[in-house]
Amino acid sequence: MIVWVNGAFGSGKSTLVDEVRSRWPEALVYDPEMVGYVLREIVEVPTGDFQDLRLWRRQVANLAVGLVEEYQRPVLVPMTLVDPGYVEEIFGALKDVGITTQHFFLKVPEDVLVERIDGRSFTPDDPEQDERVRRWCKSKIESCIAAEDSLPGDTVFLDGELRPQELADDVLVRVGARSVR
């Protein structure tokens, strides 16, 4: 099983996955951004967004499948994925090989997202890069919020302003996992 936690940058995806993982120790955590970072070292990303690389999307799906098949454990995936075609491509590849994907989307108001993004440090040793990353994250808020209407019909929308513990309780119940407290 794949548990995909989606939402805008600053919505709390990684925080939620960390909370779920702490109570579901058999689950693996897989961050597809790492695939993007590797590809950026090898090839140019003309648009600046590695999700636009077909190879990224293929490798994200292939690695998720491999993790489930090789380790027979649930996989938690914190990743913003809102382009309808890309969602279909990746989730379709998972479905084609029979892997169940539980898709959650954290809904957070724009002003809260901006506040959270402004409060984060991405590259503490490089303030200029830090600001560029913040601007990029904020530039994606509108498209992330707009994408809520085009996500798969079985997407579970969560109130991203709830405490991570409350959200994790909800996710664990919905996926049928036995929580360790």
The 10s digit of each residue's pLDDT in 50-91 is: 999 999 999 999 999 999 999 999 999 999 999 999 999 999
With a cut of 90, say whether residue 179 has pLDDT above it: no
Q: Tell me the pLDDT band of 106, cut-offs 50, 70 and 90.
A: very high
Give percent of the chain with pLDDT exceeding 90. Answer: 94
101 belongs to a structural domain: yes
180 belongs to a structural domain: no
Inter-residue contact 102 to 4 (CB < 8 Å) = yes
The enclosing domain of 63 has a CATH number of: 3.40.50.300
Give percent of the chain with pLDDT exceeding 70. Answer: 99
Number of domains composing the chain: 1
CA distances from 94 to 44, 87, 89 (A): 27, 11, 9
pLDDT at 123: 86
With a cut of 70, say whether residue 108 has pLDDT above it: yes
8 belongs to a structural domain: yes
pLDDT at 57: 98
**Closest Cα partner for 77 from 24, 136, 6, 7?**
6
Inter-residue contact 4 to 81 (CB < 8 Å) = yes
pLDDT at 121: 86
With a cut of 70, say whether residue 114 has pLDDT above it: yes
pLDDT at 181: 66
DSSP-assigned beta bridge partners for residue 75: 2, 28
Averaged pLDDT for residues 154-163: 97
Domain housing 31 = 2-175
Max Cα separation, the chain?
A: 45
Chain mean pLDDT for the chain: 95
Q: Tell me the pLDDT band of 124, cut-offs 50, 70 and 90.
A: confident
What is the C-alpha separation between 24 and 74, in angstroms, rounded?
A: 9
Write phi, then psi, for 42 (nearest 5 degrees). -105, -45
181 belongs to a structural domain: no
83 belongs to a structural domain: yes
35 belongs to a structural domain: yes
Write down the residue that tokens 């409060």 correspond to. 119
| Residue 107 DSSP SS3 | strand
21 belongs to a structural domain: yes
Burial letters 28-51, b for 16+ CB under 10 A, else e:
eebebeebbeebeeeeeeeeeebb
